[in-house]
Amino acid sequence: MLKVAIIGCGKIADSHAAQIQRVKGCEIVAVCDREELMARQLCERFQIKGCFSDVKTMLTEARPDVVHITTPPQSHHGLAKLCLDHGCHVYVEKPFTLNTMEAVDLIEYAESKKLKITAGHDDQFRPCARQMRDLAKKGYLGTGPVHMESYYCYELGKTSSYARALLADKEHWVRRLPGGLLHNIISHGIARIAEFLTTDSPEVIAYGFPSPVLRSMGEDEIIDELRVIISESENVTAYFTFSSQMRPSLHQFRIFGQSNGLILDQDNETLVKLRGTRRKSFLEQFVTPLDLAKQYFDNSLQNIGSFLRKDFHPKAGMKFLIESFYRSINDKSAPPIPYREIILTSRIMDDIFSRLRSARLENNAVCSTLSRARPGTA
Amino acid sequence: MPPLAPIDTIMNPDDPILITGAGGFIGPRVVKGLLNHGFRNLRCLMRPGGDSAKLAKYADQIGGNAHVEIVRGNLLSREDCLCAAHGATVVYHLAAARGEKSFPDAFMNSVVTTRNLLDACHHHGSLRRFVTLSSFSVYSNDKNGSGDLLDESCPVETQPARRGDAYTFAKSKQDELVTEYGKKFGIPYVIVRPGFVYGPGNEGITGRVGIGSFGIFLHLGGSNTIPFTYVDNCAEAVILAGLKKGIDGEVFNVVDDELPSSRQFLTLYKKNVRDFRSIYIPHAMSYFLCSLWEKYSQWSEGQLPPTFNRSMWCSYWKSARYTNAKAKNRLGWTPKVSSAEAFQRYFESCRKKIAHA
């Protein structure tokens, strides 16, 4: 029986506690939050015995085998190291760390201690994402991907409570992340691309800006519209889109190989195969839509079936990732997310944020030059 | 408007009063009411970015020589709480996590904030009354028979998490905390539990009448009496709860006098605001459906969250009678705006909102 602990008792900790309790062969023995009341409410609702407000005390007294870190990202590196020092395997919520340097350091530290670590890229393990991975492994795409498109959007409207909290609080922890709002959200969408890249240092071109909606709310610091091009030595390419304003707010991944393509739609939980070869003459127009309709119908039936088998939880991906991670601990096998993928995701994110910072500095410099060139302007 | 008749209070007109959530739904009315009662030293705590125009207007119109200070701060910050509570003799704690669906977020924005404020008050030592705003939803109506009286003596929910409603959980825990601080540190508190507070600014139809989440409006209230209280009436009860002598540690339910049934309200709403299709679900049927939902949620390990359950049904849709006798007797409160006038104002506000949508 694996003994599990959770550090950080905010919103996402609820999902962790609920999914861990669905996994066989483990028990949540303790939770910890600097704010004792928060720890208490989680303990009460999930009937957990160990309630702590100090991490070291919890690690010493509860002696967990695995620790889930669900605190704001600024503390991930330090807390994960502390847990590793106490001999615990660690599941770190996304974003894994603040930057690649921390990510590499953490993974090397875990390896040196012969302990396992994983990142909370749970969307990668939703049912359709797993099917897509299986198909790609079986060679459905052909030799490998040629191009990918990843959409990972987030609705951030004037009425969104998240937007209100973030915009009202200039000291909000999300603002203090190197990549701001983007840093807290995009890792799921970037990880999807990273999984299929073959080199460790792809070229990244990024363009970002605050949406007109945010600007109308007086916000010009937070970037909530992002477009990225990722390229590997003029070989595999990818586009990444994050938008808070486009509708529908997509969570989609499209991957095209030399033979065929696949479209994964997380919102509808569908996976659609795109044939690489065309049918003859008008059959392409007559049969292909029917084939697509059949695929969507099959996806729908599959989803209903999973629901009836109580296997269609909103956080099914998280449960699968937790189970796989715990299995890798018990079996001493490879963790479910390769360390290379975690580091590459982090590296791409670093590059994006670095590009955005440079662009902003250049933009400010241009504005400042223009102001100087026009006497009388502020 | 001339100042209202002076009331027998625990404080002087120049003693500092803190109002949290001053920019919310009830807050501005409390500020206005306090100014009308002649209190001249008000500190209004608002979130950064909150709109203070309404408060400024009241200060100009009826404040006279009153000092209305608008303080920007976050109750999650202990420092902000210490600053806001400095010297306060009465605290009206109206800030709430309304509409929050996540349990941790609702808890943090109700309980942690209240704890910070109570600690700050305890630290300063100047407090004479801490008024906290609770809700009818904290009562457990499980053991009451259909149509029984639900008053201040009724038990509160002992396992609020099972209700599946973050707001109820947070409010129950907030009440527990305030009571605990009263016992442990001698904080003089009063808990005000309004029914459904309605009026311009809150144009939604209460879930006690029905829900529109499934594409068509399901009318669940039927012949139940709905515990409405008009926002101005509620604000007046809140004000008195902070001022009256000899009521420390008491709980007051606040409902208006002439309460319509759910069916009467729905008919009036359709006639005065907009017509829409609704289906009446008899009580036995809604209880059965809630029970089914609850069982499915348990069986499926939360595949569907336990949003509907028997405890929730008892709290929302079991028939009950309500009384405002204690508020009238002990606070000297009467609902100044009649239900007829209040509903007229509310429907007018609903029509305006729809026209501007």
A14: contact with B, CB 8 A cutoff = yes
Does A308 share its domain with A165? yes
Q: Does B278 reside within a domain?
A: no
From A72, A89, A119, the end of a domain falls on A119
Q: Does B280 reside within a domain?
A: no
Strand partners, A7: A32, A69
Q: Flag if B47 and A168 touch (Cβ within 8 Å).
A: yes
Does A205 share its domain with A324? yes
Q: Does A345 reside within a domain?
A: no
Does A111 share its domain with A129? no
In chain B, whose CA is at the least distance from the CA of A47?
A: B161
Tell me the nearest-neighbour CA distance from B180 into chain A, angstroms.
14
The pLDDT tens digits of the residues spanning B70-128 come to: 999 999 999 999 999 999 999 999 998 776 789 999 999 999 999 999 999 999 999 99
pLDDT score of A366: 65
**For A168, which of B48, B99, B301 is closest by C-beta distance?**
B48
The pLDDT tens digits of the residues spanning B253-299 come to: 999 999 999 999 999 999 999 999 999 999 999 999 999 999 999 99
Strand partners, A32: A7, A52
CA-angle at B113, arms to B110 and B118, nearest 5° = 115
Q: Does A378 reside within a domain?
A: no
What are φ and ψ of residue A175, in 5° steps? -65, -30
Q: Does A216 reside within a domain?
A: yes
pLDDT at A364 over 80: no
A10: contact with B, CB 8 A cutoff = yes
Residue owning tokens 């309004």: B194
Tokens at B124, concatenated: 């300063």
Q: Does A220 reside within a domain?
A: yes
Between CA B89 and CA B125 the distance in angstroms is 9
Residues 6+ apart with CB under 8 A from A115: A84, A87, A88, A89, A90
Identify the CA nearest to A36 among candidates A57, A67, A63, A16.
A57
Please say whether the beta carbons of B108 and B76 come within 8 A: yes
What are φ and ψ of residue A20, in 5° steps? -60, -40
Which of B113, B169, B172, B300 to probe the A interface (max A CBs under 10 A)? B300
pLDDT score of A375: 55
Q: Does B268 reside within a domain?
A: no
* Mean pLDDT score across all residues of chain A: 94
pLDDT band at A374 (very low <50, low <70, confident <90, very high): low
In chain A, whose CA is at the least distance from the CA of B98?
A: A161
Does A102 share its domain with A183? no
Q: Does A20 reside within a domain?
A: yes
Residues 6+ apart with CB under 8 A from A49: A29, A30, A43
pLDDT score of B338: 97
In chain B, whose CA is at the least distance from the CA of A10?
A: B104
Does A90 share its domain with A181? no
**Cβ contacts of B173 on chain A, cutoff 8 Å:** 41
Q: Does B314 reside within a domain?
A: no
Please say whether the beta carbons of A196 and A211 come within 8 A: no
A35: contact with B, CB 8 A cutoff = yes
Q: Flag if A310 and B299 touch (Cβ within 8 Å).
A: yes
Does A128 share its domain with A101? no
The pLDDT tens digits of the residues spanning A11-65 come to: 999 999 999 999 999 999 999 999 999 999 999 999 999 999 999 999 999 999 9
What is the distance of C-alpha A205 from the center of its chain? Answer: 20
Q: Flag if B48 and A44 touch (Cβ within 8 Å).
A: no
Does A93 share its domain with A144? no
Q: Does B166 reside within a domain?
A: yes
pLDDT at B344 over 70: yes
The pLDDT tens digits of the residues spanning B314-326 come to: 999 999 999 999 9
Does A42 share its domain with A165? no
CATH number at residue B163: 3.40.50.720
Which of A156-170, B46-60, B213-227 is most confident? Answer: B213-227
Residue owning tokens 């009354």: B129
Does A175 share its domain with A261? yes
Does A93 share its domain with A130? no
Does A305 share its domain with A182? yes
**For B49, which of A9, A18, A168 is closest by C-beta distance?**
A168
CATH number at residue A38: 3.40.50.720
B356 CB burial (10 A radius; 0-12, 13-18, 19+)? exposed
CA-angle at B288, arms to B287 and B291, nearest 5° = 85
**For A45, which of B74, B112, B161 is closest by C-beta distance?**
B161
Q: Does A174 reside within a domain?
A: yes
From A102, A119, A136, the end of a domain falls on A119
Of A139-143, A159-163, A340-344, B3-7, give the lowest mean pLDDT range: B3-7
Between CA A216 and CA A124 the distance in angstroms is 35
Q: Does A364 reside within a domain?
A: no
B61 CB burial (10 A radius; 0-12, 13-18, 19+)? exposed
Q: Does A271 reside within a domain?
A: yes
Residues of A (136-195) whose Cβ lies below 8 Å from B: 161, 164, 167-170
**Cβ contacts of A312 on chain B, cutoff 8 Å:** 303
**Total tally of structural domains belonging to chain A:** 2
Tokens at B34, concatenated: 């306090």
**Total tally of structural domains belonging to chain B:** 1
Q: Does B75 reside within a domain?
A: yes
Instruction: Report the length, in residues, of chain A.
Output: 378
Identify the CA nearest to A67 among candidates A84, A47, A85, A90.
A90
SS3 at position A300: helix
Please say whether the beta carbons of B160 and B138 come within 8 A: yes
Q: Does B236 reside within a domain?
A: yes
The residue range of the domain holding B106 is 17-201+227-257+320-337
pLDDT at A370 over 70: no
Question: What is the three-state SS of chain B?
Answer: CCCCCCCCECCCCCCCEEEECCCCCCHHHHHHHHHHCCCCEEEEEECCCCCCHHHHHHHHHHCCCCEEEEEECCCCCHHHHHHHHCCCCEEEECCCCCCCCCHHHHHHHHHHHHHHHHHHHHHHCCCCEEEEECCHHHECCCCCCCCEEECCCCCECCCHHHHCCHHHHHHHHHHHHHHHHHHHHCCCEEEEEECEEEECCECCCCCCCEECCCCCEEECCCCCECCEEEHHHHHHHHHHHHHECCCCCCEEEECCCCCCEHHHHHHHHHHHCCCCCEEECCHHHHHHHHHHHHHHHHHCCCCCCCCCCHHHHHHHCCCEEECCHHHHHHHCCCCCCCHHHHHHHHHHHHHHHHHHC
The pLDDT tens digits of the residues spanning B164-194 come to: 999 999 999 999 999 999 999 999 999 999 9
pLDDT score of B135: 95
The residue range of the domain holding A238 is 124-331
**Cβ contacts of B353 on chain A, cutoff 8 Å:** none
Q: Does B210 reside within a domain?
A: no
From A103, A119, A135, the end of a domain falls on A119
Residues of A (222-241) whose Cβ lies below 8 Å from B: none
In chain B, whose CA is at the least distance from the CA of A219?
A: B49
Does A82 share its domain with A178? no
What is the distance of C-alpha A209 from the center of its chain? Answer: 21
Tokens at B279, concatenated: 């289906």
Q: Which residue has the higher pLDDT, B356 or B126?
A: B126
CATH number at residue A179: 3.30.360.10
